[in-house]
Structure 1
Amino acid sequence: MNRKLRVGLIYGGKSGEHQVSLQTALAVIKAFDHSIYEIHPFYITPDGEWRSGGALPGPVESVEQLAFAGLPKQAGAAEEEASGPGTVLGPLFEASGRGLPVSSSAADGAPALDVVFPLLHGTYGEDGTIQGLFEMADIPYVGAGVLASAVGMDKVMMKKIFAQEELPQCVFRHFTRPQWEKDQAFFLMDVEVAIGYPCFIKPANLGSSVGVSKASNRDELIEAVRLAFKYDRKVIVEEFIDAREIEVAVLGNDEPQASVPGEIVSSSAFYDYKAKYLDGQSAMIIPADLPEETKEQVREMAIRAFQAIDATGLSRVDFFLGRTDGKLYINEINTMPGFTPFSMYPLLWKETGKPYAELLSDLIKLAFQRHADKRTIQYKFDAE
């Protein structure tokens, strides 16, 4: 390919992790080699509005510029009007020029976008919904497919699959808002008998520790459930384990590879949103100080988890390592981990020998590989 590769970056989103996505987008835009890649921004507002601009001339230097980078080319007073509801979804459909009945806007006749890189975290970005849009548009995209994204987002379904694969994990309980409202007393008793205190309460479908609380008694548990229901209709309650937090990065499609493991030493009582993204005080120990046998075990379990949900592209797999018994428990898999300056995923690969720019190029290659493989599937059937 003689021209630059056209990469659509989609960021922002209608999610509690909107700001995390902007930080990821800023880091990725700065890391791309703009002499090789032509970056097309697609900004999704917190209200779900899509804004598309022309190709970026170079790196964006601040988070504040990201929303502007996603605006249409019209400038001045017309900007607000141009970024209104009429831009919703249209730019991406037109950009694909592939499976949808629209013409390409590229001057050379090639599709306006060669590949899409969704830098979206949480709801409507990491849960399979936008991946389904890419599938309908028949355009290559970075990361996991519809099924793996949905399973990786839903902590309850994820844990059920891990249990089927006999991956060790902590005790958990879950319930929906209607179930809780109908029989709160039962679920309180179930949690207290099966798990006890302290315990962790989380929205089932959200990441970045948004809406996560630690409860030490019944009153705190009720308040934590109330908070979690602000972000999802399903809540999961997990056993507290006195453990070290170990993370592994996975990269690949059918033959995934695992990075060296790293360890998180949180600046607060647990690794919450502030500790992850705001205070910059949490320590990341890379590689983690572990026996070789444990390092191999955690890498092997990370790949098993990746394959169990049929993931592709990238994932970060998180573990607990018991401080007293040395037992390894899988916590969760994240199919679109952050690329912020504080993010573990790129740092793990850097320590493993793969720098940031190379990692981004590999992810794009994996997207093309997966798309080409899917195109070998025959969808038409002639009964004759």
Structure 2
Amino acid sequence: MKKRVGVLFGGRSVEHEVSVITGMQVIENIDKTKYDVVPIYISKEGKWLTGSSLMNFKNFKEDNLKDAKEIIMTPVFRDNKYYTHPEAIGFLGKKLMETVDVIFIALHGTNGEDGTIQGLFELIDIPYTGGGVLASSVGMDKVTMKDVFKAHGLPIVDHIWFFRKKWFENKEEIIKEVEEKLGYPVFVKPANLGSSVGITKAKNRETLMDSIEIAIRYDRKIIIEKSVENPREVNCAVMGYDDNIRASLCEEPVGWKELLTYEDKYINSNTKGSKGSSRNIPADIPEETTKLIQDTAQKAFMAIDCRGNARIDFLLDKEGKVFVNEINTLPGSVAYYLWEPMGISFKDLISELIDISLAAHKEKNENMYSYDVDLFKRIEFGGSKAKKI
């Protein structure tokens, strides 16, 4: 019997459009012999919608989603099925109901990759793909992520961080700390965004101030990193659950610049992943460097207790030293291009991620969540306080 997979995409995030593209890729490539798809689109305003029009990317380009019905995800569990509840009333006044067995999360960035949506599905008790609440939130916050990596002995670049409020209260203190601890040039980033949004490079005090003013528009928490000069970027994906994980091939973007813009990543890039395209797969690096990156990627994956499929991004300096830059717990296009050259098709990748989510959900439900005790019988209320047990 086919499982019904709710493919969740869109979201209230600056990465909304990227998420729609990922969602469409999943819907197009999912194994139709094994799964029925229920598209679930979160608009930029935060409305949850479903409907057949959401299966066609052309309708997003033309803003033609008229038949989409608003739904509410609720913790309703009946007959071993989970339900989404449309607000619209269907034929003969009956409330339309749609069942799903598992959620495939194709969201990116804020409100999708940061643990918030994962928390909702934990409460509803429905299987979902990708990292759990902890892995998602740690992987999203660059400051916490680097703290965890550092605690596990993984190589990271020097950095400082601060809250937006501190910038308004004492700019000179922050500037002094940057100049004394890091020096120029540096990269200024919102701590909780992806796709290069809000990230700029500062080469002096004037551009540092401008960069911080940009970053604080997007997040209350700002991280400033020492620049690795003339670096090479190499990325590697990791897939699995617990310690049963494996690393993909490594990729190196061709013509990579120190900072790829949003347009560089999603408009100007060719994602075929072959020699001569926008990325070299496998990366043209020594075998020992490849092995080091793959091993480090797996350690980073396990350090945040991730599961599913994540992409870990690395920087190599001119001496060949490797630094972990960040982990993307829900990578764009599901990072399928790193697995296809290894013989894992996009279709098989999607199926494996669904299987991982079901296994993780099954194990979670083996935990004990209640403890029977006659506590109520041992407490009496009278007046304003309960008597001691």
Task: Give the TM-score taking structure 1 as reference length.
Answer: 0.86
- For residues 26-37 of structure 1, the aligned pairs below 5 Å read 26-37=24-35
CA contact (8 A) 2:74 2:84 kept: no
**Correspondent of 1:202 among 173, 177, 189:** 189
For residues 33 and 197 of structure 1, the distance between their equivalents in structure 2, rounded to whole angstroms, comes to 50
For residues 135 and 294 of structure 1, the distance between their equivalents in structure 2, rounded to whole angstroms, comes to 38
Which amino acid counterpart does residue 334 of structure 1 have in structure 2?
N
CA contact (8 A) 2:74 2:85 kept: no
Which amino acid counterpart does residue 158 of structure 2 have in structure 1?
V
For residues 332 and 129 of structure 1, the distance between their equivalents in structure 2, rounded to whole angstroms, comes to 19
**Correspondent of 1:41 among 25, 39, 42:** 39
Question: Aligned pair 1:371/2:361, yes or no?
Answer: yes
For residues 240 and 25 of structure 2, the distance between their equivalents in structure 1, rounded to whole angstroms, comes to 21
Which amino acid counterpart does residue 194 of structure 1 have in structure 2?
K
Question: Aligned pair 1:359/2:349, yes or no?
Answer: yes
Which amino acid counterpart does residue 228 of structure 1 have in structure 2?
A
Aligned residue in 1 for 2:9: 11
SS at match of 2:58: coil
Aligned residue in 1 for 2:321: 327
SS at match of 2:99: coil
SS at match of 1:210: coil
- For residues 111-190 of structure 1, the aligned pairs below 5 Å read 112-190=99-177
More off after superposition, 351-360 vs 138-147: 351-360
Following TM superposition, by how much is the alpha carbon of 1:67 offset from its aligned partner in structure 2, in angstroms?
Answer: 6.7
Structure 1 residues 373 and 199, CA gap change in structure 2 (3 angstroms): same
- For residues 257-296 of structure 1, the aligned pairs below 5 Å read 257-266=246-255, 268-280=257-269, 283-296=278-291
For residues 267 and 297 of structure 1, the distance between their equivalents in structure 2, rounded to whole angstroms, comes to 21
Aligned residue in 1 for 2:93: none
For residues 318 and 117 of structure 1, the distance between their equivalents in structure 2, rounded to whole angstroms, comes to 23
CA contact (8 A) 1:104 1:112 kept: no
For residues 169 and 220 of structure 2, the distance between their equivalents in structure 1, rounded to whole angstroms, comes to 14
**Correspondent of 1:93 among 47, 64, 74:** 74
SS at match of 1:319: strand
Structure 1 residues 112 and 208, CA gap change in structure 2 (3 angstroms): same
For residues 105 and 349 of structure 2, the distance between their equivalents in structure 1, rounded to whole angstroms, comes to 15
For residues 354 and 202 of structure 2, the distance between their equivalents in structure 1, rounded to whole angstroms, comes to 42
SS at match of 1:112: strand
SS at match of 1:256: strand
Structure 1 residues 246 and 183, CA gap change in structure 2 (3 angstroms): same
For residues 63 and 54 of structure 1, the distance between their equivalents in structure 2, rounded to whole angstroms, comes to 10
**Correspondent of 1:215 among 202, 219, 241:** 202
Structure 1 residues 280 and 103, CA gap change in structure 2 (3 angstroms): closer
Which amino acid counterpart does residue 107 of structure 2 have in structure 1?
L
Residues 311-333 of structure 1, C-alpha deviations (whole Å, 9 max, x = no match): 0111100111112x211111110
Which amino acid counterpart does residue 364 of structure 1 have in structure 2?
I
For residues 79 and 194 of structure 2, the distance between their equivalents in structure 1, rounded to whole angstroms, comes to 32
CA contact (8 A) 2:192 2:219 kept: yes
Aligned length: 356
Structure 1 residues 252 and 67, CA gap change in structure 2 (3 angstroms): farther
Following TM superposition, by how much is the alpha carbon of 1:285 offset from its aligned partner in structure 2, in angstroms?
Answer: 0.8
Aligned residue in 1 for 2:58: 62
Work out the percentage of aligned pairs sharing the same amino acid: 41
For residues 99 and 66 of structure 1, the distance between their equivalents in structure 2, rounded to whole angstroms, comes to 38
Following TM superposition, by how much is the alpha carbon of 1:164 offset from its aligned partner in structure 2, in angstroms?
Answer: 0.3
For residues 47 and 317 of structure 2, the distance between their equivalents in structure 1, rounded to whole angstroms, comes to 44
For residues 104 and 51 of structure 1, the distance between their equivalents in structure 2, rounded to whole angstroms, comes to 10
Task: Give the TM-score taking structure 2 as reference length.
Answer: 0.85
Aligned residue in 1 for 2:380: none
For residues 306 and 177 of structure 2, the distance between their equivalents in structure 1, rounded to whole angstroms, comes to 33
More off after superposition, 43-52 vs 144-153: 43-52
More off after superposition, 285-294 vs 244-253: 285-294
Aligned residue in 1 for 2:372: 382
SS at match of 2:194: coil
Choose between structure 1 and 2: higher strand proportion: 2
What 5-or-longer segments of structure 2 have no aligned partner? 87-96, 271-276, 375-389
**Correspondent of 1:312 among 307, 324, 327:** 307
For residues 154 and 70 of structure 1, the distance between their equivalents in structure 2, rounded to whole angstroms, comes to 36
Following TM superposition, by how much is the alpha carbon of 1:280 offset from its aligned partner in structure 2, in angstroms?
Answer: 2.1
For residues 108 and 306 of structure 2, the distance between their equivalents in structure 1, rounded to whole angstroms, comes to 16
For residues 121 and 98 of structure 1, the distance between their equivalents in structure 2, rounded to whole angstroms, comes to 32
For residues 71 and 373 of structure 1, the distance between their equivalents in structure 2, rounded to whole angstroms, comes to 38
CA contact (8 A) 2:83 2:98 kept: no
Which amino acid counterpart does residue 259 of structure 2 have in structure 1?
F
Aligned residue in 1 for 2:239: 251
What 5-or-longer segments of structure 1 have no aligned partner? 74-82
